[in-house]
Amino acid sequence: MFPPITVPPPLQPIIQAWTVWFTTTFFTIPMATALAIWDLPSALYNLFFGERPKVILITGANSGIGEKLAEEYSKLPGVTLGLLARNKEHLNRVANNCRKRGANVDILVCDITDKEVLNETINDFYDRYPIDLLIANAAQAGVKYDGDEERWEDRGERYIDVNLIGTVNTVMAGFKRMREKKGGQIAITSSILGHYSAPQMIYYNATKYALVSFARDLRYLGAPHDIKVSVIAPGIIDTPMTSDPKQPLKFYSWIFASPRNLAIVTKLQLYANRFEITWPFVEMLPAFAAQSLPPRVTELVTHIIGRVNGFITGVGDEAFT
Ligand SMILES: NC(=O)c1ccc[n+]([C@@H]2O[C@H](COP(=O)([O-])OP(=O)(O)OC[C@H]3O[C@@H](n4cnc5c(N)ncnc54)[C@H](OP(=O)(O)O)[C@@H]3O)[C@@H](O)[C@H]2O)c1
């Protein structure tokens, strides 16, 4: 019998490095440049003259990024917003702000982990207002491993229920209706942590990694039905999710981390039907670089990036939700 034929493991990082170099030099850079030029006219057309959504459903709309998205979209003429979250009081506050800007607003009090109620809520809203854009944005974060295994696992499982299963159920409820109507747009909020890991936050990261993959595949499935699917991958954004007073985020937020700016960028990028919306883009650069390093070095680099991220945001130090 022959032994299994394979590249000897010590040579694999070298072959990986040359493969990345070859692909980057001869394919990635020329293709990325050509596509940017090719896309420019349609991106500009969509930006200025493209069709705008008339009915938008946003989950996690009573706080942080969801709230700013709601406010940003409420400026569109004749728009109807469905704002979904659990806390009614906070929903009313955001709804009133949006109404002042001229939007018609429905508040939807719902826990996305309750699949039956979630389906009912989305279908009932859809019957009254066929959704053009669904933004599945609700999530929870905050617990790092601190030796309390039981609490860590409890919260971790909760993140999987809300961030992954709840989000997938939200998206699929909308997707099925859009498929009947033959058209629509879906945006799923993942995170930059869907690309590299802050090691103390493995449950949260796992949900965000999974959402990137889910969104990518759904984009293919949606295309024949004229359903556009995008993923929003924010970096560190100044919201209640990251508001630990001990952390120096306030300094950072002056430069990059405004949820309002993220909302504006997201709106424009969704007009252009971009697949992945990353903002602030600068935070993606170490992630791109880390991905092309040999795996052992990537592990170290992502570990360090994760630590820095946890330090800057405070996510991973306390339970915020
Ligand atoms: N802030 C960041 O730095 C950052 C970075 C990357 C990605 N993200 C992602 O961006 C999204 C928004 O986060 P954020 O920073 O704006 O956080 P946030 O201010 O804490 O908002 C989270 C929202 O989700 C809702 N929510 C939580 N659990 C829910 C449930 N079971 N059912 C329905 N709604 C629920 C909350 O409302 P109720 O509590 O009233 O239900 C709230 O509206 C999340 O997907 C988050 O993972 C944030």
Q: What is the DSSP string of 277-307?
A: EEESGGGHHHHHHHHTS-HHHHHHHHHHHHH
Number of domains in the chain: 1
- Of 46-55, 148-157, 283-292, which gets the smallest average pLDDT? 283-292
Flag whether 269 is in a domain: yes
Predicted confidence (pLDDT) per residue in 174-191, tens digit: 999 999 999 999 999 999
- Of 55-59, 93-97, 191-195, which gets the smallest average pLDDT? 191-195
Over residues 102-119, mean pLDDT? 98
Over residues 143-165, mean pLDDT? 84
Flag whether 30 is in a domain: no
pLDDT at 318: 45
Q: How many residues does the chain have?
A: 321
Flag whether 194 is in a domain: yes
> 202 versus 97: which is more confidently predicted?
97
Give whichever of 72-81, 144-153, 250-259 has the largest mean pLDDT: 72-81
**Residue 220 is a catalytic residue:** no
Residue type present at position 99:
R
Flag whether 209 is in a domain: yes
Flag whether 270 is in a domain: yes
Q: Which domain holds residue 179?
A: 51-313
Pocket test for ligand 1, best of 59, 62, 65, 214 (most atoms within 8 A of CB): 65
pLDDT at 321: 33
Closest CA to 286 of 8, 255, 278: 278
DSSP secondary structure code for residue 317 in this structure: T
Instruction: Tell me the whole-structure pTM to 2 decimals.
Output: 0.92
The domain that contains 225 carries what CATH number? Answer: 3.40.50.720
Closest CA to 135 of 321, 274, 267, 268: 267
Flag whether 207 is in a domain: yes
Q: Which of 196, 204, 209, 271 is catalytic?
A: 204
